[in-house]
Amino acid sequence: MAKLTVEIVTAERRVLTDEADMVIAPASEGTVGILPRHAPLLTALKPGVMVLKKGRDEELLAVSGGFLQVSDDRVLILADTAERADEVDEQRAAQARTDAEAALKEAASRPGGIQSDEARAALHRSLARLNVVQRRRRRNTM
């Protein structure tokens, strides 16, 4: 069976280079599933959980935005940030969520401001990181 070559890169580091049977990513217009022989694609990413399926195994990553390009069974992700499930510090992510929620409440008194958008983006990033941790924990208990 054909495989996808997947490369995930941030400005700071190469997060992953691997093969996968399928990639599921949080695209700006909704979740996309990429299989071998997928049509060429370029899309923006939003904060969320990216899944690399390898047979019966799954690798989970938290991404905070960027771009995904598909061409010739190669998936290139240029992410703002990306963390593998085992790299996510749950306490730090939970604190980031609490801080973002507080900032969002404060920004509500000034609707439409930059602070509101920044707080909302920070909340989405922290929720993606927590979601990865929770999914990893559930998978490990099965």
* Encoded amino acid at 7, one letter: E
**What pLDDT digit, counting tens, does each position of 1-58 carry?**
789 999 999 999 999 999 999 999 999 999 999 999 999 999 999 999 999 999 999 9
Q: Helices 114-141 & 90-107, crossing angle to 10 degrees?
A: 150
- Give residue 111's pLDDT band: very low, low, confident or very high (50, 70, 90): low
Distance of alpha carbon 26 from alpha carbon 53, whole angstroms: 15
3-state secondary structure of 126: helix
Rounded to the nearest 10°, the torsion over CA 124, 125, 126, 128 is 80
* Residue for token pair 């054909």: 2
Name residue 46's beta-bridge partners. Answer: none
Q: 4-85, which class in CATH?
A: mainly beta
Using DSSP's 3-state secondary structure scheme, residue 76 falls into strand
Q: How many residues does the chain have?
A: 142
pLDDT over 90 for what percent of the chain? 56
- Give yes or no for residue 104 having a pLDDT over 90: no
**pTM of structure:** 0.80
| Tally of CB atoms within 10 A around 15 | 18
Q: What is the mean pLDDT of the chain?
A: 89
Domain-wise residue ranges, the chain: 4-85, 88-141
